[in-house]
Structures are given as C-alpha cells and as structure tokens.
C-alpha cells in the first residue's frame, strides 16, 4: 500500500522507523507530471532498494520571475497511478508553505558548473535546486538518489553538492528516455504545436551528427557546434538558446575535444524550451 505523506513531521517519523529496520532507501525527487523518464528512475530505484520514496514538489525557488511556475503542468491523480505502477512506497507531496513556512535564513549558492548551459540564462536556478535538495536529502536520508541524464547539468550540480557537503548517499544517473523518434521525454513536450512536435526530433539528430563528427576524428569544438546549429536552423522553426560542447562533469570550455565531454543544447519553440544532450568520451591519442 503506497503511503502519501504531506507533512515534514510525518515523513521524518516514517523515515526514522525505516532506518531502525536498516532498510535501504532509494529517492526520486521530481516536480511531478510524471512521464516515462521519471518511470525509468522509479524502476531503477525499485530494483536497487528496500524502500522507494518519490517526492513531488514544484519548487518555487528554482523558477525565475518570468518562468512558468504557475503554468507548470500538474496532475497528482495521474502521478499517483504512475508511482503505484512502479512500486513506489512513499510519495512525499508537500505544499510550498510546508517546505518554506517562512523566508529562509540560509540558502545555498552553487559556485561551479552553473555558468554554462541552462545556468547561464537562469541565474539562481541551481541555487534553488541545491537548496531544496539539501532539505529533501536531510528529510528522506536516502542511500541512493536518482537523476535523469537529460538534465545533465543538474546531475553534475547534484554530484558536486553531495560531494561538497558529504551527504552519505550515492547519486545514480539514469539514461535519457526517448520517444520512438528520438525526442527526449519531457513534461514540457505537451506545449509543442503539431508542427513543432514533428520538427523537435531534429534536436537529437543534430546531437548525433555532432557525435559522428567527433567519432570520425574532429577535435575542434567550434566545428562541431557550427554543424549542429546549422542542422537545427535548417530542420526546425525553433530559436537556438545555446549549443555547447564542454568537459563533463566540470562543464568547462575545451580548446580540443578530449576525455569525457557533453554536447548540450536548448531550443525555444513558441511555448516550450527543450533541452537535450549526449555525453561521450573521446580517447586521447597516444603520443
């Protein structure tokens, strides 16, 4: 029987009981409106833990003043069905007033891995993510926490948070789940018009083109980025927010493509901003 908890007090009481029984806890933090990407995280958590905790909380701290906080899609009944189908034991479903009963006296500022990709155009976003995750990690006390690779920058920031603050948990990255045509699953895909939905798979194809160029020996990041941008502009009506090729997980610029890197993009359509990425490793040439 799945337990739906809405208060911090009750959650702490239940988690304390789990810990006295030495149960391994897997944690999937989400903002709800669950799709197959979230299901993949829940599945992985179910396989690896005694107890699975799912949080559903649209965190106001990570939305900027002109972003879609109020219109962010919500459907708790549907989310319950998805969570139940994946064997979730506990849904933590707090209100903003429960999580933030008064203005915080301490917040977290993320200093690295945020000045590129989405972080560059969303100042304060990852501070909000890190602050809410710090609260949630303390409340849930998970052994493992699951994050999708689709938001690879968030995964990198979370790994830094866990390492810097010595949280006794393992961050488990899970591969991006895609539609049959390659489009990354996202709660925001519902905002695409019919025409935009047909164009959107070109984003992943453009990333695959970049990967092919690197596999064939291209070492200049600008050459790869230019080819990806050309494909997006030719095959979609979207406006490019960014296309970047950076080291991963440190998210730093490279003069030459080597080691583990990420090709990441964000493209704005009329009512949706879509992100996607590929993480790959280029072996260094022997001297």
Mean pLDDT by 10 residues, the chain (287 residues): 96 98 98 92 98 96 82 91 98 97 93 83 87 98 96 92 97 94 89 96 98 96 98 97 94 94 96 94 65
The domains of the chain, with CATH numbers, are 3-174 (3.40.50.620), 187-279 (3.30.1300.10)
Annotated binding site for ATP: 31-38, 148-151, 177, 185-188
d(CA 189, CA 211) in angstroms, rounded, equals: 24
The catalytic position among 11, 28, 38, 114 is: 38
Annotated binding site for (R)-pantoate: 62, 154
Q: What pLDDT, on a 0 to 100 scale, did the predictor assign at position 87? A: 98
Q: What pLDDT, on a 0 to 100 scale, did the predictor assign at position 240? A: 96
Q: What are residue 118's DSSP bridge partners?
A: none
Name the residue among 202, 245, 239 with its Cα closest to residue 223.
Answer: 245
What does DSSP assign to residue 145? E
Is 38 assigned a catalytic role? yes
pTM of full prediction above 0.75: yes
Sign of CA dihedral 187, 188, 194, 196: negative
Give backbone dihedrals phi and psi of 238, rounded to 5 degrees, phi first: -75, 160
- In this structure, the dihedral spanned by the alpha carbons of residues 108, 162, 39 and 24, taken in order and rounded to 10 degrees, is -130
Annotated binding site: 31-38, 62, 148-151, 154, 177, 185-188
Annotated binding site for beta-alanine: 62
Q: What pLDDT, on a 0 to 100 scale, did the predictor assign at position 284? A: 62
């Amino acid at each position: 029987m799945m337990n739906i908890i809405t208060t911090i007090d009750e959650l702490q009481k239940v988690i304390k009981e789990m810990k006295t029984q030495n149960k391994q806890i897997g944690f999937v933090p989400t903002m709800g409106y669950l799709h197959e990407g979230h299901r993949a995280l829940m599945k992985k958590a179910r396989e690896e833990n005694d107890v699975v905790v799912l949080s559903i909380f649209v965190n106001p701290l990570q939305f900027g003043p002109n972003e879609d906080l109020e219109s962010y899609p919500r459907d708790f009944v549907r989310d319950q069905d998805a969570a139940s189908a994946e064997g979730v034991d506990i849904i933590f479903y707090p209100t903003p007033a429960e999580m933030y009963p008064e203005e915080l006296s301490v917040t977290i500022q993320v200093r690295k891995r945020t000045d590129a990709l989405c972080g560059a155009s969303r100042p304060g976003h990852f501070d909000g993510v890190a602050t809410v995750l710090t609260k949630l990690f303390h409340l849930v006390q998970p052994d493992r926490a699951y994050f999708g690779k689709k938001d690879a920058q968030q995964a990198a920031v979370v790994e830094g948070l866990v390492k810097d603050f010595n949280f006794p948990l393992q961050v488990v990255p899970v591969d991006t789940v895609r539609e049959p045509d390659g489009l990354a699953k996202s709660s925001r895909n519902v905002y695409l018009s019919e025409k935009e939905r047909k164009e959107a798979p070109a984003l992943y194809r453009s990333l695959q083109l970049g990967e092919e160029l690197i596999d064939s020996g291209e070492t200049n990041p600008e050459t790869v980025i230019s080819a990806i941008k050309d494909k997006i502009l030719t095959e979609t009506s979207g406006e490019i927010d960014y296309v970047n090729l950076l080291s991963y997980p440190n998210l730093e610029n490279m003069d030459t493509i080597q080691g583990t890197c990420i090709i990441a993009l964000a493209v704005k359509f009329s009512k949706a901003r879509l992100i996607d990425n590929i993480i790959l490793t280029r072996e260094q040439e022997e001297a």
